[in-house]
Amino acid sequence: MVDYGGWDMPVEYSGITDEHMAVRTRPGLCDVSHMGEIELAGPDALQTIQRLTCNDASRLAIGQIQYSALTTPDGTFVDDILVYRLADEHYMLVVNATTTPKDYAWLSSHAAEQGGDVSLVNASARYALIALQGPAAAEILSGLTTVDLSAIKYYWFATGEVASVRATISRTGYTGEDGFEIFVQPAQADRVWQALLEAGASHDIKPCGLGARDTLRLEAGMRLYGNDMDETVTVVEAGLGWIVGWQKPEFLGAERLRAQKAAGAARKLVAFEMLERAIARHGHAVMEQDAVVGQVTSGTQTPFLRKAIGLANVPIALSPIGSELDIDIRGRRAKARVVPEPFYKRPRPA
Amino acid sequence: MYPTTLKYTKDHEWVKLDDAEAAVGITDFAQGQLGDVVFVELPEVGRQVKQGEMFGTIESVKAVSELFAPISGQVTAVNPELGVHPEQINAKPHDAWMIKIKPSMPAEADALLDADAYATLIK
């Protein structure tokens, strides 16, 4: 068990490789209750979100979800978030565990500055969150709910019951696999967890810890706040220009992001594959001769693709696909190559 | 659990002493802590190592750890199988030797732990 933002969390149950493979081929179950939830309600809730996040939340229908970021005036990340539209004037932001207090303070102070009619609640203690991920996720969950799961598209959610417990069922995840994230009251989380384990037993379901969650998300090319980006990296530099609502009116950081989009950023987060038998990890330096020019932000050996891969923050000159990176791994240089993202894309049903 | 035919170190390595050579690996406890081993970096044959000196690294999916020479001497062999199948270290840790050392100071081995002492250490 490790301390993760004040939560005691398992790094692994049966082993990272075993858990990773379960999610890629069957189902895995991950307790992600550490994620924070912040709700905004009121006539000016949308306006507040529009001003403080980079994606265009006005495009969300009720029941729809969007990947976005809370941005600083410099266009960098306060956090990366999911925005849920719960009702007409009611939204929920799902935020990272370690950043929940910071995000809530940031939202509160900026909402107060704007002076609109919006109420903010840090609702994190009201929700446990269980992620059921893998090709058999829908089949397993359908036995425990009357909600028509086939009607929930990717990045949409529905409310109903799971194992007779009131739940919000969200077709989202952090693994690159099909699956659901299920919000329930903390007091009932254990019941739902056990029911899912039982229902998944015939598919050899595996509980998954933080370790597999990290290798899965990296294989899928998903960023981790605090590793791959933070308050020093802009949304464009992180390679996430697609989560910017370029057409929407002003928001915090818009000016810098627009300038970077027009002129090109000086740095970029890129995906790489090792060309030698070595694993580059978070914090290792990208070198040009004797100068440090960049940094590995995430890196591991992936259990499914069986390759050493990672993400690195590099100067734009080193960012084109095929560029060779020279990485200092504990004093030894090893070569890597910039590759297209994501590393892994799940096969679409025919 | 811990074979009495082996000697152990506080760094969670085992040593199998023969007449002329000492085979070195990591213990079941160590492989359990590391998780799935994916990569082992080992020295060249012929290298001289001192007791306590780092002779290589072992990497699992989640972390990298250093390997320390349990005794001084010359590296006489490196297990070639571990380059291709590092997972053998998880599967049978007390058989998957990494290097063999020809001891230069055989008396150093006297200070190594026996199976009982090691089992107590990791309790």
Class of the CATH-defined domain A266-339 = mainly beta
User: What average pLDDT does range B61-76 have in this prediction?
Assistant: 93
B61: nearest CA partner in chain A: A301
User: What average pLDDT does range B116-122 have in this prediction?
Assistant: 95
End-to-end CA distance of chain B: 13
Report the residue from A15, A17, A301 with minimal CB separation from B39.
Answer: A301
CA distance A210 to chain B (A): 10
Query: What's the pLDDT at A6?
Result: 87
CATH topology of domain A36-125: Alpha-Beta Plaits (3.30.70)
Contact criterion met (CB below 8 Å) for A239 and A341: yes
Q: List the domain boundaries for chain A.
A: 2-33+127-219, 36-125, 266-339
Comparing A71 with B18, the larger pLDDT belongs to: A71
Q: Indicate the pLDDT class of residue B31, thresholds 50, 70 and 90.
A: very high
> Quick check: A72 contacting B, CB < 8 Å?
no
Query: What's the pLDDT at A19?
Result: 97
CA distance A296 to chain B (A): 15
ipTM: 0.71
Q: pLDDT tens digit string along A127-143?
A: 999 999 999 999 999 99
Query: What's the pLDDT at A135?
Result: 97
CA distance A311 to chain B (A): 16
C-alpha span between B87 and B94 (Å, rounded): 13
Rg for chain A (alpha carbons), in Å?
20
Bridge pairing between strands A285-288 and A324-329: antiparallel
Which pTM was predicted? 0.90
In angstroms, how far is CA B91 from the centroid of its own chain? Answer: 15
Q: Reply yes or no on whether the pLDDT at B83 is more than 70.
A: yes
Q: Which helix (H) or strand (E) segment is A113 a member of? A: helix A100-114
Name the stretches of chain A with pLDDT < 50. Answer: none
**A234-271: b or e for each residue (b if 16 or more CB lie within 10 Å)?**
bbbbbbbbebbbeebeebbbbebbeebeeeebebbbbb
The mean pLDDT of chain B is 94
Query: What's the pLDDT at A349?
Result: 62
Q: Which residues pair with A291 in a beta bridge?
A: A288
Q: Of A237, A292, A301, A242, nearest to A270 (Cα)?
A: A237
User: Which of A2, A17, A208, A302 should be substituted to probe chain B, the one whose Cβ sees the most B Cβ atoms within 10 Å?
Assistant: A17
> Quick check: B57 contacting A, CB < 8 Å?
yes
Touching B: A residues 197-216, CB under 8 Å: 211, 215
Torsion of CA B65, B71, B72, B73, to 10 degrees: -100
Query: What's the pLDDT at A201?
Result: 98
Q: What one-letter code names the amino acid at A103? A: D
Query: What's the pLDDT at A207?
Result: 98
Domain B13-104 CATH (choose: 1.10.240.10, 2.40.50.100, 3.10.350.10, 3.30.565.10): 2.40.50.100
- Write the Ramachandran bin of A213: left for phi over 0, alpha for psi from -120 to 50, otherwise beta: alpha
Class of the CATH-defined domain A2-33+127-219 = alpha beta
Contact criterion met (CB below 8 Å) for B56 and B78: no
Report the residue from B41, B61, B83 with minimal CB separation from A303.
Answer: B61
Query: What's the pLDDT at A348?
Result: 74
A307: nearest CA partner in chain B: B38
Neighbours of B120 (CB within 10 A): 9
Contact residues, chain B, for A279 at CB < 8 Å: 38-39, 59, 64
> Quick check: A273 contacting B, CB < 8 Å?
no
C-alpha span between A87 and A83 (Å, rounded): 12
Q: pLDDT tens digit string along A313-326?
A: 999 999 999 999 99
